[in-house]
Amino acid sequence: MSDRRPDSNRPRTNRPRTNGPRTNRPAPPAVQPARQVAYDVIAAVSDSDAYANLLLPGRIARARLSTADAALATELTYGTLRMQGYYDRVIEQAAGRPVDRIDPPILDVLRLGAHQLLSTRIPSHAAVNESVALARMVGSRSATGFTNGVLREIGRHTPEEWRERVAADAKNEDDRLAALTSHPTWVIRAFRRSLVAEGRGDELEALLDADNAAPRVNLVALPGLVDAPSGSRPDRFSPVGFTGDGGDPLGLVESSGGRLRVQDEGSQLAALALTRARPVRPGERWLDLCAGPGGKAALLAAEALAGGADLVANELIPARAELVRKALAAVPLEVPVWEEDGTVVGDEHPAAFDRILLDAPCTGLGALRRRPEARWRKEPKDVAELSALQTRLLDSAVGALAPGGLLAYVTCSPHIAETRSIVAAALERHPELEAVGTADVVQGLAGERLDLADDQEMVQLWPHRHLTDAMFIALLAKRAE
């Protein structure tokens, strides 16, 4: 889906360049490698809809950054993208013009510079000088002077003063929260409705702050195949999850042959809720209906292997299906990977599966800590389109579920239209379905008791409360004939 339509709630990044040709200029001074990598990724996100979490590791490796420089590049990239909306408000005041009148490459330089000035301990002179050097590489001579002037104006005021100035310029309370926490206003309102539904509306600002905090790197040890390495710390909730000792997580993944994997604790709980809700009978058939990119599929495969079940993974998009195959290669179980339209699997394979995981395509609003740019790429109309797709997929899953079977409906979004409303409507359409006590299931497998809402039929995890992505989990059972 395109995100190129104007939206007053998000920064606009794809605008015509206003600078003229750049010719006969001396070679610009070298930019510190970590800042160059951060700028390149931020620019790719702005210009090409790239995803920072996919692009950054490769850019770091290509630049052969040291551990310290890799950490700096990561902080500069994600920090700038998380607070982009706030920095745009600061830049508009410092520049005396709207950001849509600033050349896009220079705007990216200014965002990166603003992050260093307002949210890091990098000396002001280094932040300004390196930003000016970047501007000289990507903009005109006048743009270089403009960059210097704007950043020096930002540096004349403390971070606290800028927060006060931005807050004072807000139109209303929601606009103030949108500005200070760098979230689109519609997302803030959606989060508020979800929290209010739990009786926790007073947690909104804590949630928004958690979205802007760097998440821990969480891993999973595929059960029955590998143990967590010595020196690691067990997760609070997932019985198979852990956090590392601060070393390279990708090194752990590679050295284990993929049996140790990077995976959010909430995703682990979602998969385990399906596999451990009831004892596994040997010979059960399981389906991961929307399996890409394969993290949950690998965990399901390990659980199926241990219980004597068979698993099928389905993923419509060929490139993502290939990722699923790579993830499943770590598990010594033959798992067919279909490339079928998930909305017709129920018609083509009626009553064929005893357990089905539907990790439905969604807005991804529950993972803004990890994919900060995603907050600017979705619009309210996307929710309607996705909820229609989620409805079709859930109907298909019900059709593919055998009588007496168990279905887990999962999204990485707390938006009510993608979660509670989808499940409630499915229960109305399908009298053969009944809700299972999802909260009791998740509490029963968790290492520590989770602070959940009172609703026993579904579970909503939260980054501010559980330090997980905002994963939604609902277990549904098909009545036996």
Residues known to be catalytic? 412
d(CA 9, CA 172): 13
Encode burial over 435-445: b for 16+ CB neighbours within 10 A, e otherwise.
bbebbebbbeb
207-221 per-residue burial string, b: 16 or more CB within 10 A, e: under 16:
bbebbbeebeebbbb
Identify whether the C-beta of residue 106 lies closer than 8 Å to the C-beta of residue 146. yes
Q: Distance of alpha carbon 185 from its chain centroid, rounded?
A: 18
Yes or no: say if 217 and 209 are a contact pair by the CB < 8 Å rule.
no
Among candidate residues 264, 337, 265, the one with its CA nearest the CA of residue 297: 337
The sign of the dihedral angle between the CA atoms of 251, 252, 254, 258 is negative
Question: What whole-number distance in Å separates Cα of residue 219 and Cα of residue 235?
Answer: 9
Half-sphere exposure of 127 (CA within 13 A, CB side): 24
For residue 3, what is the DSSP state?
Answer: -
